[in-house]
Structures are given as C-alpha cells and as structure tokens.
Structure 1
Amino acid sequence: MSSLETLFQAAKAVQAKAYAPYSRFRVGAAIATSEGRVFTGCNVENAAYPVGSCAEAGAISAMVAGGESRIGEIVVMGEGDILCTPCGGCRQRIREFAAPDTRIHVAGPEGIRRTFTLDELLPFSFGPDNLADR
C-alpha cells in the first residue's frame, strides 16, 4: 500500500469516529510527518458551536503530542460532493508546521479528489519565518 493510500485509509477510519451530532458532517484528517509517522484527528462538535474542533486541529495536536513538528503531507476527508478543504483557521494551523509546497490532499469516500499545495490554499501566508528577525 502506498503512503498516500495509507493516509487515505487512516483519514477514512478516523472520519467514522467523528462526533458530529449537530451538523452530521464528519471530517477525518491524517498527517504523515517528515519522519513518516501518521497521526489522525476527527471533528468534535459541541452544543456551544465555537467550542468544537476541526479534524486537522486534532491531527496536529496528536502530532505535537507525539513529539513531531513537521507535516510531510495531509489528507482531509469530508462528506458530500463538494470539496472539503481545510477552513481558514486550519490552513493557518497547517502553515505553522508545514512548508509552502506541502501537499494537502482533499478526499471523499471514493478517494482523493484534488491535491493542493499549502501555498495554493494559503498564499502570502504569515508564519514562523515572519517572526525570525525578532
């Protein structure tokens, strides 16, 4: 199984565990680090809507808790026919741990629908390098 297929299957498996009683829109994310380790996350909703968390945020938290700090590539899987790209906040979260050319694969149940680089999803981004001169 290819590394992309492994990430796809991991995102699909964790998507099934999402807690989405309000939107009923389950999202799963799987990150491969630069070291080749895989971390996953799913969306977790809350009755107080702003308190919920996105799948990408969960996967990033798991990655950091696992001692890693660089995203090699990521798969984000949503439901429905429309692309489920990371929200603006998650694009910024990914930016903290990824390079501009990091691949972000957007998937549906049938497979990878489209691949973007981080720079395509968040052009002219603000990140750690902006603070390097401080």
Structure 2
Amino acid sequence: MKGIGDRELLLKAREAARMAYAPYSGFPVGAALLASSGLIFPGCNIENASYGLTVCAERVALFRAVSSGERELVKLALWAPVPCWPCGACLQCLAEFAPGLRIVRQGEKGELQEKGLGELLTAAFSLQCPPGGCI
C-alpha cells in the first residue's frame, strides 16, 4: 500500500487516543486501521462501568471500517502510553477480516515495531477452523 507511512499511521492512532473514554483505567489507547482503498479508520478505547462492556480501540477501528464497507485491511497502528499489542479478543476480531494484517506500534525508545497478526494470534478461530480447534 503506497501513500501512507507507518509513522503517519501511528500519528493517526495517537490522535485517536485523545478521544478515548478511559476514566477507569486512565489508559487511553488509539488505533488507526488502513484499508486497501487508502482510507484510514481511527478508533479509541471506550470504557464502561461494567468492565466487560468496554471496547478496545482496535475493535472500534475495525467496526468502523467494516460498517463502512471495507473488507480489505492492510495495516493497524496502535498507540498507548506504554507500548502494547492488541488483546486476544481484538486479534480474533481482526483475524475475521484480515488474517494477514500487519500491526505496528512505537516501542519504549520511539522505534517502530511491527508484527503480523499471525505472530500474535497463532490459532485463530475461522470458518476453516471452528471452535474446538482443527485436528
């Protein structure tokens, strides 16, 4: 995908984190999901007093993209006050639409770090591998 670099995508994720609603954790997270169309879908975490109803930034970005008709997702940038990778729930949701997705974040010293979704989620559920696993 030409046009947008990793640092620019990461900046969009950082901007999205400013919109986070994180009164319980105090941990604002931003995501920016790049589609093959060149469109970028930002997302931020949205917490809830019933913690299980909290939605992570990655899923907000994903749901925005999918609800806009995007199905080809290329890269996800993730920004948080302390570098982190997406949680298992987010990885599983992302795997539904983009099993080859690349994920980039900024490391402790400002360096870019990148991993493939498959490196972070090694046994995703899918139509080919239903709950209970593949044999």
TM-score range, shorter chain: 0.7 to 0.9
Identity of aligned residues (%): 38
On the 8 A contact 1:77/1:109 being kept in 2, the answer is no
Q: What does residue 133 of structure 2 align with?
A: none
Q: Tell me the residue number matched to 2:28.
A: 26
Q: What is the rounded CA distance, in whole Å, between the counterparts of 1:9 and 1:110 in structure 2?
A: 16
Change (3 A) 1:108 1:66: farther
Indicate if the aligned counterparts of 1:12 and 1:109 stay in contact, CA closer than 8 A.
no
| Deviation by residue 1:111-131 (Cα, 9 ceiling, x = unmatched) | 454211111001132224447
Q: Which residue among 75, 87, 92 is the counterpart of 1:73?
A: 75
Closer, same or farther in 2 for the Cα pair 1:4/1:91, shift >3 Å?
same
The 8 Å contact of residues 29 and 80 in structure 2, kept in 1 or not, is answered as yes
The equivalent residue for 1:37 is 39
Offset, 1:6? 2.4
- Which residue matches 1:120? 119
Gaps of 5+ in 2: 131-135
One-letter amino acid matched to 1:31: L
Aligned to 1:105: 104
Give the counterpart of 1:47 among 43, 46, 49: 49
- Contact 2:95 / 2:117 at 8 angstroms: preserved in 1? yes
Count of residue pairs the alignment pairs up: 128
Change (3 A) 1:93 1:65: same
Pair 64,110 (structure 1): closer, same or farther in 2 beyond 3 Å: farther
Aligned to 1:93: 93
TM-score by length of 1: 0.85
For the aligned residue pairs, the C-alpha RMSD in angstroms reads: 2.0
Give the secondary-structure state (helix, strand or coil) at the position aligned to 1:40.
strand
Tell me, in whole angstroms, the C-alpha distance in 1 between the residues paired with 2:62 and 2:128: 19
Which moves more between the two structures, 53-62 or 113-122? 113-122
Alignment partners' CA distance in 2, 1:26 and 1:109: 16
Q: Cα distance 1:9–1:109, how it changes in 2: closer, same or farther (>3 A)?
A: farther
SS of structure 2 residue aligned to 1:73: strand
